[in-house]
């Protein structure tokens, strides 16, 4: 059985280690093993590789299996604190440095334009072949490979669509000649190395379409409709900057087969005259960028149905009066000899 004890404080004992070290003594870490036999005594001292002290210490006494003999084992905390902690740090650092890393970068490109994805292997391992795969739900699909012996080999399904444009075994670039919706997704680059197996990285391609915005307005009898429509990929977000009150906002979203999304926002103003001569601003948020579209409401486009009916009625009345006067005048002239 081992008994764990701590040293008494206040006797010049240093904060890491159980052996009493008087002031002025050389600080060292040691492992002391002694036996009961008078003919031999073994002392093993291991100096610490670092001088920084970490507060911890313990004292272990172990009984030897020999009858009447006792072995005392003193292990100083300084040794274990320093050795275990720094060994762990160096071990993790070595693992990190020795581990091969694949550097990739996700790309965002316009739909129906060329796009490229690149992988770079940061290791000194000998690479035999580089393979590009498209990640799918079931399993990755091979697209193209490159090796010194066979060059570039593109699978039949991807011919005339892609190619490996950077011919290297440490770095590789795949290029899409004309991106389509099917090209959006994530891709894996595999470096088949000699002695270390396959080392892979993943790069993702996102496709977008710039917003197309239409802003207009229309007067009705008792309200004004201001419409802002934006078509883009991914779906845009529309907001308004309009002065005044008494407004209702409604939004419609429609997805198109070409991958774009149309968002239409209609701002209904209950008092049309309040917006005449004022500027309305439609703000479109797309991929983190806000673009403002402005238009001034022109009163020339505003009309009221009752006023229009009144004007039309007045014109008709004037025409009828003119016809009546003309008819009376002609009749009077016909009666004269």
**Residue 170 pLDDT > 70:** yes
Start and end residues for every CATH 2.60.40.10 domain found in the chain: 101-208, 220-301
What is the gyration radius of the CA atoms in the chain, in angstroms?
43
How far is it between the farthest Cα atoms of the chain? 172
Give the C-alpha separation, 172 to 104, whole Å.
10
Q: What is the pLDDT of residues 105-148, one digit of tens each?
A: 999 999 999 999 999 998 878 999 999 999 999 999 999 999 99
Q: What is the pLDDT of residues 265-298, one digit of tens each?
A: 999 998 888 888 889 999 999 999 999 999 998 8
pLDDT of 85: 62
**One CATH from 2.60.40.10, 3.20.20.10, 2.40.50.140, 3.40.50.720 for 101-208:** 2.60.40.10
pLDDT of 333: 72
Cβ burial of 115 (10 Å; 0-12, 13-18, 19+) is buried
Mean pLDDT for the chain?
Answer: 76
- The structure's pTM equals 0.60
**Residue 218 pLDDT > 70:** yes
The encoded tokens of residue 230 equal 């934006």
Q: Tell which phi-psi region holds residue 172, choosing left (phi > 0), alpha (psi between -120 and 50) or beta.
A: beta
Q: What angle do CA 274, 279, 284 make, to 5 degrees?
A: 120
CATH superfamily membership of 220-301: Immunoglobulins (2.60.40.10)
State what percent of residues in the chain have pLDDT above 90.
50
Q: How many other CB atoms are found less than 10 A from the CB of residue 183?
A: 17
pLDDT of 237: 97
């Amino acid at each position: 059985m081992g008994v764990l004890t701590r040293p008494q404080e206040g006797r010049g004992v240093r904060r890491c280690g159980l052996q009493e070290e008087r002031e002025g003594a050389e600080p060292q870490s040691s492992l002391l093993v002694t036996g009961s036999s008078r003919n031999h005594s073994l002392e093993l001292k291991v100096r610490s590789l670092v001088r920084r002290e970490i507060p911890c210490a313990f004292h272990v006494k172990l009984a030897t299996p020999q009858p009447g003999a006792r072995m005392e084992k003193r292990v100083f905390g300084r040794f274990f604190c320093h050795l275990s902690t720094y060994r762990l740090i160096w071990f993790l650092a070595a693992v990190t440095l020795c581990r091969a890393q694949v550097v990739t970068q996700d790309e965002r490109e316009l739909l129906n334009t060329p796009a490229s994805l690149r992988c770079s292997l940061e290791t000194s391992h000998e690479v035999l072949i580089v393979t590009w795969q498209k990640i799918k739900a079931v399993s990755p699909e091979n697209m193209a490979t490159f090796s010194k012996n066979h060059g570039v080999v593109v699978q039949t399904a991807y011919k005339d669509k892609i190619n490996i444009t950077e011919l290297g075994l440490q770095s590789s670039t795949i290029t899409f000649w004309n991106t389509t919706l099917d090209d959006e997704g994530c891709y894996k680059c595999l470096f088949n190395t000699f002695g270390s197996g396959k080392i892979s990285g993943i790069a993702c391609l996102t496709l977008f379409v710039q917003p197309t915005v239409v802003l207009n307005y229309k007067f009705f009898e008792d309200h004004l409709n201001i419409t802002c429509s934006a078509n883009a990929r991914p779906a845009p977000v529309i907001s308004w900057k309009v002065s005044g009150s008494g407004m209702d906002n409604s939004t419609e979203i429609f997805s198109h087969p070409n991958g774009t999304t149309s968002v239409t926002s209609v701002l209904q103003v209950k008092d049309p005259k309040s917006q005449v001569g004022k500027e309305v601003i439609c703000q479109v948020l797309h991929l983190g960028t806000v673009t403002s579209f402005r238009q001034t409401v022109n009163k020339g486009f505003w009309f009221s149905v009752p006023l229009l009916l009144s004007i039309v009625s007045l014109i008709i009345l004037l025409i009828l009066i003119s016809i009546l006067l003309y008819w009376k005048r002609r009749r009077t002239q016909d009666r004269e000899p």
